[in-house]
Amino acid sequence: MKKLRVGVLASGRGSNLQALLHQSLAGKIDVEVAVVISDVEDALALSRARAAGVPAVYVPPGKFRTKLEPESEKEYVETLLTHGVEVVVLAGFMRILHDDFLNAFPDKVVNIHPSLLPAFPGLNVQKKAIDCGVKWSGATVHFVNAGVDAGPIILQAVVPVLDDDTPETLAARILVEEHRIYPEALQLIAEKRIRIDGRRVIGEPPPTTGESR
Ligand code: GRF
């Protein structure tokens, strides 16, 4: 099967990128990381990509704190297209992407978030979950739309919130699940096993024998 070419955008430590590289290089998923781009010049994610022999590019974000300047957003799109990227994977990318970017990859941008969306979008969500007293939290892989952490949900995994949890211990428990379900969600996309129907992501039946994927 032809591999799905993904481009990963990451701002930080890149543990989700690492999990993806691991599965991809071991041939466990039909996904190839074509390029990794970061808005942070010394992001660990870039070193992880280089160590795996994957092109790693720093693209300066411009003057804003939470978004990309229009010119640099264009450069992100161009870099992704130059590397033949079909699906954009956000893995701890700390900037909001706008219409020009999303329109370049319609329904082809995915994100992972460390809560059971739609509960607790945004930042510091493990602390918010603990403070709110929920007994369960988890991770969500979703398509990205114009809202923040608001697009159609592909996969979720649930973990308990324990009485003695700190944001750090809860984050670590959730991260284990993130590393499991992100590659799994990308494999579903690679196999064309899902489609978007409004807010929902619906499973498609597996192709019958002999039918090309
Ligand atoms: C993860 O918790 C992810 O859910 C969130 O940012 C964090 C990134 O971690 N979007 P890493 O850089 O993949 O280690």
Atom of ligand 1 nearest to the CA of 139: 4
pTM: predicted TM-score of the whole model, two decimal places: 0.96
Kindly tell me if the per-residue pLDDT of 158 is higher than 60. yes
Question: Cα(93) to centroid of ligand 1, in Å?
Answer: 8
Question: Cα(16) to centroid of ligand 1, in Å?
Answer: 6
Average pLDDT, the chain: 96
Mean pLDDT of 42-48: 98
- Annotated active-site residue in 22, 83, 98, 113: 113
Mean pLDDT of 9-13: 98
Identify whether 113 is a catalytic site residue.
yes
Query: Burial letters for 38-74: b for 16+ Cβ neighbours within 10 Å, e otherwise?
Result: bbbeebbbbebbeebebebbebebeeeeeebeeebbe
- At residue 105, the pLDDT reads 98
Q: How far apart are CA 213 and CA 209, in angstroms?
A: 10
Residue with tokens 């090309």: 212
Mutation to probe ligand 1, out of 178, 179, 181 (largest number of atoms < 8 A from CB): 178
**Contact predicate 41/58, CB 8 Å:** yes
Mean pLDDT of 190-195: 97
- At residue 211, the pLDDT reads 52
Kindly tell me if the per-residue pLDDT of 61 is higher than 80. yes
Q: How far apart are CA 19 and CA 153, in angstroms?
A: 20
Mean pLDDT of 51-78: 97
